[in-house]
Amino acid sequence: MSERNVPIADRRYAAPVPEVPDRPQPPTGLLADRRGRRLHDLRISVTDRCNFRCTYCMPKAVFGSDYAFLPQASLLSFEEITRLTRLFVAHGVEKLRLTGGEPLVRRDVERLIAMLAPLTTPAGAPLDLTLTTNGSLLARKARALRDAGLQRVTVSLDALDDAVFRAMNDVDFPVADVLAGIDAAAEAGLRPVKVNMVVKKGVNDHEIVPMARRFRGSGHILRFIEFMDVGASNGWRMDDVVPSAEVVRRIAEVFPIEPAEPNYDGEVAERWRYVDGAGEIGLISSVTQPFCGSCTRARLSTEGKLYTCLFATTGKDLRALLRGGYDDAQIAAAIGAIWSARDDRYSELRSAQTAGLRRIEMSYIGG
């Protein structure tokens, strides 16, 4: 392979091979890290490719036509993903989220869903199986995803104004097609549909109230996400963040809302409900109110690297174990050792010192 063709993603994200303990202990389902946080959620990135070029996530200047995405042989196969997922479930994972890149551009992703759907917790309970998508292919695929065993879906939509949305996704994709995808998902039974809006000051913050108006009373749950300093290519500045408190204030001026109790301990989104009963919204405030203390999420990259924080700079190469002939007990023990050693709390420590770190890109690890 010529120098020019070396996939830069592989080099950029070089990760150490995890140590395999000499005498592997079987998983107990109760794994906890050094801060007492359980391993409860697994986010699986099924591709680093996306058909959008959202300016705050995969800007064209970085992810242009010459960008070297991962070659097919690097990706975990569906069999490899399922094998690893089974081991994570033995350690206590109860919730799976497929993400990317854009997960619906991975060919036959329904087949992966059909392989994951039958997995159960050690106590025999079904897992929560969901997927995050930009919605562009959802109208076409919602029924097949549901039939394969997907339970719910989260759709990213940053504006209702067509010109604003087309400029943000930077591939001129229309709002109407994403709305059609949301409708198709709801009709197929992938409910409640969550709609994620990343708010960036001066870009789409004037869409906060129109978005709230559109999704009130629809049965869908709109969630506002603070623009985060993930990756190293989106030019993040604190000045671009609209704090969740400001989002609440703007909505409350038009539609009275009141705080609602979390659905469960460690829920990422803070819930607010419309006083008139028209449903609820969520606020995800990873910048102004970090929730590291209750973070129970592990992230598996497209080529099998395990990250224990969205803001991590390195992961651990589980694919090397999968393809290196290790058995399930050994790989499970390696995962257990990584999680037990986990001490991440990036968002709590975020400061001038962390600004220069070479963090992994959101499009690589998924949201």
Interface residue list for ligand SAM (CB under 6 A): 50, 56-57, 99-100, 102, 132-134, 156, 196, 198, 225, 227-228, 230, 234, 362-363, 366-367
The type of residue at 83 is R
What backbone phi and psi angles, to 5 degrees, belong to 74? Answer: -80, -25
Q: Minimal CB distance to ligand SAM: which residue?
A: 367
Strand order in the sheet with 95-99: 257-259, 270-274, 280-284, 221-226, 194-199, 152-156, 128-133, 95-99, 41-45, 297-300, 305-307, 316-317
Rounded to a whole number of angstroms, the minimum distance from the CB of residue 18 to ligand SAM is: 25
The type of residue at 158 is D
H or E stretch at 250:
helix 244-254
Task: CB nearer to ligand SAM: give 168 or 334.
Answer: 168
Rounded to a whole number of angstroms, the minimum distance from the CB of residue 167 to ligand SAM is: 15
Residues 6 or more apart whose CB falls under 8 angstroms from that of 94 comprise 40, 41, 121, 125, 127, 128
Name the residue among 307, 313, 247, 321 with its Cα closest to residue 84: 321
Task: CB nearer to ligand SAM: give 296 or 302.
Answer: 302
Rounded to a whole number of angstroms, the minimum distance from the CB of residue 124 to ligand SAM is: 30
CA dihedral 261, 187, 156, 278 (to 10 degrees): -40
Task: CB nearer to ligand SAM: give 76 or 335.
Answer: 76
The span from the CA of 239 to the CA of 200, in Å, is: 9
Rounded to a whole number of angstroms, the minimum distance from the CB of residue 108 to ligand SAM is: 17
The span from the CA of 218 to the CA of 141, in Å, is: 21
Task: CB nearer to ligand SAM: give 44 or 333.
Answer: 44
Task: CB nearer to ligand SAM: give 321 or 362.
Answer: 362
Task: CB nearer to ligand SAM: give 31 or 196.
Answer: 196
Q: How far is CA 136 from the centre of its chain?
A: 17
Rounded to a whole number of angstroms, the minimum distance from the CB of residue 337 to ligand SAM is: 28
Task: CB nearer to ligand SAM: give 242 or 318.
Answer: 242
Contact 225, 264 (CB under 8 A): no
The span from the CA of 178 to the CA of 138, in Å, is: 8
Rounded to a whole number of angstroms, the minimum distance from the CB of residue 269 to ligand SAM is: 12
* CB atoms closer than 10 angstroms to residue 164: 17
Of the CA atoms within 13 Å of residue 140, those in its CB half-sphere come to 7
The span from the CA of 119 to the CA of 126, in Å, is: 7
Task: CB nearer to ligand SAM: give 56 or 88.
Answer: 56
Task: CB nearer to ligand SAM: give 130 or 363.
Answer: 363
Which tokens hold the place of 336? 């257990």
Rounded to a whole number of angstroms, the minimum distance from the CB of residue 1 to ligand SAM is: 28
Rounded to a whole number of angstroms, the minimum distance from the CB of residue 232 to ligand SAM is: 11
Q: What is the maximum alpha-carbon separation in the chain? A: 63
The span from the CA of 47 to the CA of 49, in Å, is: 5
Task: CB nearer to ligand SAM: give 198 or 333.
Answer: 198
Contact 152, 192 (CB under 8 A): yes
Rounded to a whole number of angstroms, the minimum distance from the CB of residue 331 to ligand SAM is: 26
Contact 298, 339 (CB under 8 A): yes
Rounded to a whole number of angstroms, the minimum distance from the CB of residue 176 to ligand SAM is: 17
